[in-house]
Structure 1
Amino acid sequence: MTRTTPPPPPRTSVQVDTPERPQEDAVRPDAGTATWRAGIRRALRGGLRPGPWKRGPVLAALALLLGLVMLLHAGITDRGGLGSLVETFLPWLGLFVPLLLAGALWRRSAAAVVALLLPTTVWLSLFGGLLTDKSHGGGDLTLVSHNVGADNPDPAGTARDLAASGADVLALEELAEHAKGTYEKELARTYRYHAVLGTVGLWSRLPLSDTRPVDIRQDAGPLGATKSMDEKMGYQRALRTTVATDHGPLTVYVAHLGSVRVMPRGGFWTESRDRGAQALGEALAADRSERVVLLGDLNGTTDDRALDSITSRLRSVQETAGDGFGFTWPASFPVARIDQIMVRGVAAESSWVLAATGSDHLPVAAGISW
């Protein structure tokens, strides 16, 4: 018997429809079109972004305002002591220049950078001379002035430090009644001559004569204030004397002008200080001495308009023979030079600030010559 093999089943073909791939040329724009569109987008973005001369208008305005404040500080009203307050801290306004410059560079503002030329120029014209050392060294006479502080915890140590300074003439202000004996005892070893009137005194290696008080019109503090240091210390706060030198008589004033305080309702209170400055200026104007020195705590800087009656007649040694700003108060972090040595008829050779004592002021020193 013969077996028959069945034929294989017929193959069934399955056709899968594959979508045709679109031609690239139909969907991709040519390179020129893409570049053209990108250029339009960049132009639109550039048009919306201000240029370097239009950026930072606020920074530019602040720079101009800063320059005008320093340039026209004398025109600021002194109502509430505002003018005196600005002038007391006038050198510190220069710190705003680098801050504004940093902001201008960050904003890439050409206008702000150019505007900063005004405050920079004004500040340098006012204080640039203090950045160099103008001292010459030497001198015929060394002067020292120090507000020793009524609350000084170590008057004996302060006296010893001052005696070791090499001063030929030493002026002390704010001498508390309980400490006067200590200063007289400690300084007697170095200084043969001295005169004390009220809360100010002068110690000298050279003879003194014609010592008398100077009325600088000190009185009570502002109405409603607590008892002020002026009241506690008394009102005899200035003297005039004559020092006999090898070059002839030298007239010396020692003064401690009234305090300056911030009142909660009255602002920056300077009335007592201002009256004292005016009275002291009148005394200096009436003094016909050829050589005059003023030593003291004036509770104001030489930029302060309240001291114009003094600064118009005497010259600060710090401005002519100093090295730096010579800040003296407060001793822990000095921000203003309110302790002064000023002269007329003699030359300042050098000026410096001594190390801190137990006071909240730093002592100031100067070498003068004929």
Structure 2
Amino acid sequence: MAQAYKTETGNGSPQNGRTGARFRSLLDGWRGDPGIWRRGLVLAALAVLIALLMILHAQVPNRIGNLGSLSETFLPWFAVFIPVILVVAVVRRSATALIALLLPTIVWLNLFGGLIADKSGGTGDLTVATHNVNAGNPDPEGTAKKVAASGADLLALQELPVGQVTAYEQALAGTYKYHSVQGTVGLWSKYPMTDTAPVDIRLGWTRAMRSTVRTPEGAVAVYVAHMPSVRVKLNAGFTANQRDNSADALGEAIAHDRTGKIVLLGDLNGTMNDRSLRSITSQLRSTQGAAGDGFGFSWPASFPMARIDQIMVKGVEPVSSWTLPQTDSDHLPIAARIRL
């Protein structure tokens, strides 16, 4: 009868009592174990090493396989080591490792904690979108229409093969009155475009362009670019020399642009943390970093691990930034709203 009364009128305290007892037992076990400070020294050293790599990532040399750029490309993913070390430290009952783990946790939050929250807000004047459509895309018309459905006033496409340009033009003709394709990149606009021309990024063929878009709020210089691809090879490391040279050339072109308002749309094959893009990133702001929701990873589309597709601005205010639904490309399209 007493047990029945306890079951019928209790508020969960028996279960809570058992949980509390187990927790107290665990603490008592740790208090009585002098080895909690000696065990897990390797784990503690690993935690400190991860923290130092994040703090000093700019000091990792690029001379050997561009290791610096490679680590910076996937820098946010250093966070995956934190829960792994936490679990092993608890299993090993290592107080030293748990305390050391605070260091990489604090460093990571300092570097990337601001990207977790949604920073979008307010209203903007112009919606822009960009997408590397993939030269082997089996459905160019469907891909074009999916990205146009974002409501973008300006739409940039990269990796346009010669044989599919007409398909993209036809699919977008009803939405965009103005457009230009230069080499393998193109820009579609709801507003007039003038002074449209290729931008030499030292490749020998055209993968970048610039146009002045005449919006109701004034002229905006719009760049569309597709930096050369990078590769990770066992015998050569992170091969990105051509990408780096092209980034420097694009950075020089932007630096000499006298237009007060600039928007860069494209696949830069690098993240905002990659030092090799500094000639560009030092001049422009990332809309995702300033007003995005989360990391906004765009590649690979099946399991996004890095944001190598970028929308960057100068002289305008980012209001919001986001990724768009997947198409038949290996990249996700991205979009942003800006205030002119």
Q: Normalised by the size of structure 2, how large is the TM-score?
A: 0.89
* Aligned length, in residue pairs: 308
Structure 1 position 213, deviation (Å): 1.0
Which amino acid in the other structure matches residue 75 of structure 1? Q
Contact kept in structure 2, 1:137 and 1:367, CA below 8 Å: no
- Residue 54 (structure 1) aligned with residue 64 (structure 2): no
Which amino acid in the other structure matches residue 305 of structure 1? R
SS at match of 2:50: helix
**After superposition, what is the alpha-carbon deviation per residue over 1:313-368, rounded to whole angstroms, capped at 9, x for unaligned?**
00000001000000000111110000000000000000010001111000000000
- Residue 178 (structure 1) aligned with residue 163 (structure 2): yes
Contact kept in structure 2, 1:54 and 1:109, CA below 8 Å: yes
Of 177, 187, 193 in structure 2, the residue corresponding to residue 202 of structure 1 is 187
Structure 1 position 264, deviation (Å): 4.1
Matching residue of 2:321? 351
Matching residue of 1:98? 83
Matching residue of 1:112? 97
- Residue 244 (structure 1) aligned with residue 211 (structure 2): no
Matching residue of 2:153? 168
- Residue 281 (structure 1) aligned with residue 251 (structure 2): yes
Of 233, 241, 256 in structure 2, the residue corresponding to residue 263 of structure 1 is 233
Identical residues among aligned pairs (%): 62
Structure 1 position 262, deviation (Å): 2.2
Which amino acid in the other structure matches residue 37 of structure 2? W
Matching residue of 1:26? none
**After superposition, what is the alpha-carbon deviation per residue over 1:268-307, rounded to whole angstroms, capped at 9, x for unaligned?**
1101111111111111111121100000000000001111
Structure 1 position 265, deviation (Å): 2.3
Which amino acid in the other structure matches residue 55 of structure 1? R
Of 13, 37, 48 in structure 2, the residue corresponding to residue 64 of structure 1 is 48
Structure 1 position 163, deviation (Å): 2.0
Which amino acid in the other structure matches residue 296 of structure 2? G
Structure 1 position 137, deviation (Å): 4.7
Which amino acid in the other structure matches residue 110 of structure 1? A
Of 82, 85, 103 in structure 1, the residue corresponding to residue 67 of structure 2 is 82
In 1: Cα distance, 2:141 partner to 2:158 partner:
15
In 1: Cα distance, 2:284 partner to 2:123 partner:
21
In 2: Cα distance, 1:188 partner to 1:307 partner:
34
In 1: Cα distance, 2:289 partner to 2:234 partner:
34
Structure 1 position 138, deviation (Å): 2.9
SS at match of 1:259: coil
Of 295, 305, 308 in structure 1, the residue corresponding to residue 275 of structure 2 is 305
Unaligned segments of structure 1, at least 5 residues: 1-48, 220-234
Matching residue of 1:43? none
Q: Normalised by the size of structure 1, how large is the TM-score?
A: 0.81
In 1: Cα distance, 2:218 partner to 2:238 partner:
43
User: What are the within-5 Å matches in structure 2 for residues 135-150 of structure 1?
Assistant: 135-150=120-135
Which amino acid in the other structure matches residue 159 of structure 2? E
SS at match of 2:197: strand
Unaligned segments of structure 2, at least 5 residues: 1-32
In 2: Cα distance, 1:337 partner to 1:191 partner:
27
Of 117, 125, 132 in structure 2, the residue corresponding to residue 132 of structure 1 is 117
